[in-house]
Amino acid sequence: MHQLMKFKAIFIAAIIFSFQCFADCETDLSTINRRVYTLGQGLQADLEKRNLRVGTYNALDLMVSSKKPAEDCRRIGMQILQNNPDLIFLQEVNGMRDFSRDYLNDNYRAFEFSNNDPKHKKIALLVRTDVSAEASFANIMDGFQRSVPVAVFRFAEGNPVIFMGVHLKSKKVRKNEDMDALRQRDIDNFINLVGRVRQEFGSDARIVAMGDFNGQLHNEANMLDLIERSQLIDTLDLFKMSEDDRATHVYFSGDGRRIVQQMDGILVSRSVLGAIRDARVLPPLTLDGKEMPLPMTLEEQFTNPSDHRLVFTDFDLHHLIFSNP
């Protein structure tokens, strides 16, 4: 009877972990391997799959409240299914188990991470149900305005890949808040966290940091400083494209200016550069599958399901985990 109750407890815990915000997630890198979870066939997978697609998308209040129109949820779900990422970090979300069931045909496991966000918006990692790996997680909250989830994935018997979900402090000024100081603290803490990952997993650690950096990645001094000091490379830089093609956000200022910018990205360590096969920004889709252009007005912006765009990168999985940097 004791063994049966123990098995039931483990089974229930696994279900909760697979689809909910798991409160017992590690909060420090030094203990990240304390709990290892098997996804799919785990390390027994024969690695027939050669491409690994990862993505990031600020989905703007997705499932956070009933205010998000069902049509927007369908459009976001359709875009994810159409582009079929193996792993995707989503920012400003909640209730991703329901989203996967209702809009993704239950094709994804949803891992939500508790956050410091006062509006209870979370970061979530969606993983395709057919992905086989062993995974361990840490949710780094100390010092950040919003937590930074770190997910270590081991595919087959190759080197681990460390995925980081990012949503840095926004530029919105709130009462009694020093926005610039808080943003700089987030940036400094992110750089320090990347350094700690290298201490834990080696100087050639395979790092993939994905998310909304809330700054113009290649046009703001503090963002350029983040990239230089973290020694990470924006995957979009590896491919020739126009400024519009790499834009992930359009901001309409109070004085009527239209600012096209890349705020979202996938930053990687040099150790994975040889495995990258493609990187792109994807426009939102209408319900009939047509691509939406960059908005020219704020009114056009409101017709999109989010004010951000999805970014993805394709890796040769075998090269990613087995090649020498």
- Give the whole-angstrom CA distance, residue 69 versus residue 102: 14
Number of other residues whose CB lies within 10 A of the CB of residue 216: 18
- Give the whole-angstrom CA distance, residue 247 versus residue 281: 7
| pTM, entire model | 0.89
pLDDT value of position 15: 38
pLDDT value of position 312: 97
- Give the whole-angstrom CA distance, residue 154 versus residue 39: 10
- Give the whole-angstrom CA distance, residue 193 versus residue 226: 12
The answer to whether the beta carbons of residues 258 and 250 sit under 8 Å apart is yes
- Give the whole-angstrom CA distance, residue 185 versus residue 182: 5
Q: What is the 3-state secondary structure (H, E, C) of 37-91?
A: EEECCHHHCCCCCCEEEEEEEEEEEECCCCCCCHHHHHHHHHHHHHHCCCEEEEE
208 is written with which tokens?
Answer: 């993939």
- Give the whole-angstrom CA distance, residue 210 versus residue 41: 25
229 is written with which tokens?
Answer: 């000091």
- Where exactly are the structural domains of the chain? 2-322
> Please, which residues have CB within 8 angstroms of residue 69's CB and are 6 or more apart in sequence?
none
Chain centroid offset of residue 6 CA: 34
Q: Please state which of the four CATH numbers 3.60.10.10, 3.30.1370.30, 3.40.109.10, 3.30.2130.10 is assigned to the domain occupying 2-322.
A: 3.60.10.10
Per-residue pLDDT tens digits of the chain, which is 325 residues long: 444 443 334 333 343 344 344 555 778 888 888 888 899 887 776 676 689 999 999 999 887 666 678 899 999 999 999 999 999 999 999 888 889 999 999 999 999 887 766 666 889 999 999 999 999 999 998 888 888 999 999 998 889 999 999 999 887 766 666 778 888 999 999 999 999 999 999 999 999 999 999 999 998 999 999 999 999 999 999 999 999 999 999 999 888 899 999 999 999 999 999 999 999 999 999 999 899 999 999 999 999 999 999 999 999 999 999 988 7
pLDDT value of position 212: 96
